[in-house]
Structure 1
Amino acid sequence: MLTDGAVRMLVLFHFHLLGFSPIELATIFLLYEFMGVITNLYAGYIAARLGLNFTLYAGLGFQIIALSALALYSEALQSSAGLASFSLAYVVISQGLSGIAKDLTKMSAKSAVKWLAPDSDGTLFRWVAFLTGSKNAVKGSGFLLGAALLTFIGFTSALWSLVALLLVVLLLLVFIMPSGLTTKNKSAKLKQVFSVNSHINWLSGARLFLFGARDVWFVVGIPIFFYSILSDGSLSQNRTAFFQIGFFMSFWIILYGATQAITPKLLNSASRSRYSIIRITKMAVLFLAVILAVLTAVTAANLLSDRALFYVIVIGLFGFGFVFAINSSLHSYLILAFSDAERVTMDVGFYYMSNAAGRLLGTFLSGVSYQFGGLPACLACATILCLFSWLLIFPLANLQKQG
């Protein structure tokens, strides 16, 4: 997760400085998100057949290959201008490998919790919240790390540094990881990756639109908009802007993760039923839509100075992040609560496939909406996606009430 966040910042700003348009920047991450969809769909089946240790090691291995390939190409590009025309395609492919890596690793960690934590007295909720919060705190630190590496040692050296870090982590895990985190199920069928549990299907649909609503402004819109305000294009201004934007995105993700970790305590989860938790998710996502609608109106009105607008957006998005974190944490608990232990890897994989599909949708809309309508269009799209997520919680609540 640390290297995933760092690479996101490295690639985004490096290729923005090379003159890539918002749509081209979004395109870089489209295969990344698409491969996340495919990986999540089938990783659960692979884990059921081969075990979680295998998928965890494979995820780290794919990330090492992806970053090495990108670093080697960057070195070749510096010595041969003729390769420039292939930059976009090559980077897209390398990001596709990173997408496989990230979701193999994440699915492995999330599924392991179901095996290690009992679902009693809110224990499962607390474990899920802590893992999810810790993961996002580490990823948030990666955003700041990526901005710092790009500023001080440059794109290529930063990539090689991350490769070295991953190699150390992989070697350590090989020696210290317990074997057999899950019981291998050789009879698992490929068709079983699609969930037949209606609770999981409705929850997955809500998750898709929830994460689409985040990434439609997070991937391209906000970083490029903030860069346009904070930098005049000079080297010194670029360095300052990279740090400020990297700090914002890092701090946003870290606070998001911290909020996820304390959500069980905030909501007194041990005393709440699943139906009560579903009702909270419904209220939370509607509140998210309201926050985004207000920010859309403020940015579209264009009545504030750039600096004033910057601070208003920062405050608004931190408020969004707090509520979003609570909602996301509740989702992460519900998916494990609704999953059967026998097919947990496939249920979690299907759910995170929907999560990745939402990020794919958000990434695409981020580039397109910013290209043609700027930040107000990004925020308006996010508002609509939140409302779709809200609507899909109603059938889930009805199912749980009837059950």
Structure 2
Amino acid sequence: MTYLIANAPPDQEDMRHDIAADIRNIQQISSVPTILEAVAAITGLRFVCIARVTADSWTTCAVLDKLDFGLKVGDGLDVTTTLCEQVRDTRAAIIIDHVAEDATYCNHHTPRIYGFQSYISVPLFRPGGEYFGTLCGLDPNPVSLSAAATTTSIKLFAELVSRQLQSEAALLEAQDALTGEREAAELREQFVAILGHDVRNPLNAIMLGTDMLQHQDLSGSAKITVQRIRRSAQRIAGLMEDVADFTRGRMGGGMTAAMEDCGDLGARFEQVVGELLLAYPGREIRFDMQPGISLRCEPRRIEQVLSNLLKNALAHGHATHPVRVSAYSQAGEFRLRVVNGGPGIAPEKLGKLFKPFWRGNPGDSHKGLGLGLFIVAEIARSHGGRIGVVSDEEETVFEFSMASALPDASLLGATA
């Protein structure tokens, strides 16, 4: 028995790589050997294979050979000598019970070349309907293949292979996405290391230098410049603290809280609001807090919750709308609400707001690492509390809540 092997010319190197990938995909489908065995058992054909068929090539991807036909995985045939070329062009199956008695194929060159009398070839398709190749089989002896039950079974097996190709494509896409996420995570870890180590020493030098300059007899413009340098250094210090919090939260089993009784929460919040009013001149913050609130918490972290939520509101809210802050205790629960006006947040983005390094708009001009809301969520978790957000076309509301030391306090002045 003879067959013709076609070698791809050197200028088709890319195509050879693509076909090699197709062979790997078929080989990775664990059900393929069983499918070939089932087709052979149902039909009686002693050679069954899956072939990748293009305009220029025919290549075996999986083979069951009980004839010693000689083709192995990766072997190729001259596609012009095969009937699979016709299947590729018509996308219709070819079924031959007995070549010698078949009016269409009795004088065809393909049966003469390969010496078969019975033959079947059913098209296989990629996801989206693109033609992949064929599930085909042959035998030197006549075999009854055209019975409805036989052809239906073989076509179902071909559809099963096509569906497996779809699953493999989806798996490869998911693996590529996972690889990309891992690479991005590694880059982020390197970024964290740089910020935490290489930036700290020069930053300390800048802070010390501005402290010294502020005590010098400087001109008005020079004093303004020094103040700007110091604010920039403080901003960098804040970013580094965010990175440190992120590291503790993600690599140290989660952020922990050093709990203590805090009865001066109002004064602490007023300090945070005052600092942000200086950082955002021209903006309005309406602050309304119930007096006498007492919490068992880590005070610095609760201040950080307000600071991060306020910064977010000032950065993303409408510049002409005031940011409203209210803090109150009711029925044993402390609630801190920060409200900003402006365009709403799309529902599909709400669930991602508290993820690290995430920004709703990659082209956002507001600078930062994308860690502020993640840190708020970590602080809420460490205090046994919650952080939530609702947004519509008019305003966005962030609310932090946790257990309060005043279970029976009434709601006073929470007008936001």
Same fold, TM-score > 0.5, yes or no: no
- Identify which of structures 1 and 2 has the higher relative contact order when contacts are C-alpha pairs closer than 8 Å and 6+ apart: 1
* Bigger Cα Rg: 2
Give the number of the structure whose residues are more often strand, by fraction.
2
What's the TM-score once normalised by structure 1's chain length? 0.24
What's the TM-score once normalised by structure 2's chain length? 0.24
